[in-house]
Amino acid sequence: MKKLIVLTGLALLLSSCIETKPMLYNWGYKSSTKSASEYETLLYDNYHTQSPESVCALLCQYEYMVTHPGGQRGVVPPGICAEYGYLLLAPETSQAFESKATKRQRETMGASGDYGATFREKGMQMLQKEIELYPESSIFIQPLIKKFSQQ
């Protein structure tokens, strides 16, 4: 009986050492204190209590995810370019960024001067990139492109 308990314990211990399969997409790094990724935490914080600071942090997270795709596919996760583009095109985003972005956030975004024009151009590029990466999204993204092109 003791042998059975020891063998079961040893089997459980060894099975916990099995390497897990890498994720298909990179959704950001996991926080050491939370089970959610940094992206999920920032997105929740922004929607829960939206502030200029949360918008700036979320913009930088999107920029990182777009410029450093990871995971098994090495491609930006579905919807990220669309979310990023939509946020960049929102009129209050450039104002929030201009007033509350830290020096590091400004460096991350690489924008200087006229944030409105820079964000507008990049936002349209991100919507187009979403369609390039995920053609099935065009039915949702084309109306957004049309709407923002008319403004």
Determine the residue type at 123.
Answer: G
- pLDDT, mean over the chain: 84
More confident residue, 3 or 55: 55
Residues 79-108: tens digit of each pLDDT: 999 999 999 999 899 999 988 888 999 888
Fill in the DSSP letter of residue 51.
-
Q: Check if the beta carbon of residue 108 is closer than 8 Å to that of residue 64.
A: yes
| pLDDT classification of 145: cutoffs 50, 70, 90 | very high
Question: At residue 49, what are phi and psi to the nearest 5 degrees?
Answer: -135, 80
For the entire predicted model, the pTM comes to 0.80
Q: For 13-42, what is the mean pLDDT?
A: 69
Question: At residue 30, what are phi and psi to the nearest 5 degrees?
Answer: -75, 140
| pLDDT classification of 133: cutoffs 50, 70, 90 | very high
Residues 37-95: tens digit of each pLDDT: 888 888 888 888 889 999 999 999 999 999 988 888 889 999 999 999 999 999 899 99
| pLDDT classification of 18: cutoffs 50, 70, 90 | low
Neighbour-count burial of 141, counting CB atoms closer than 10 A to its CB (0-12 exposed, 13-18 middle, 19+ buried): buried
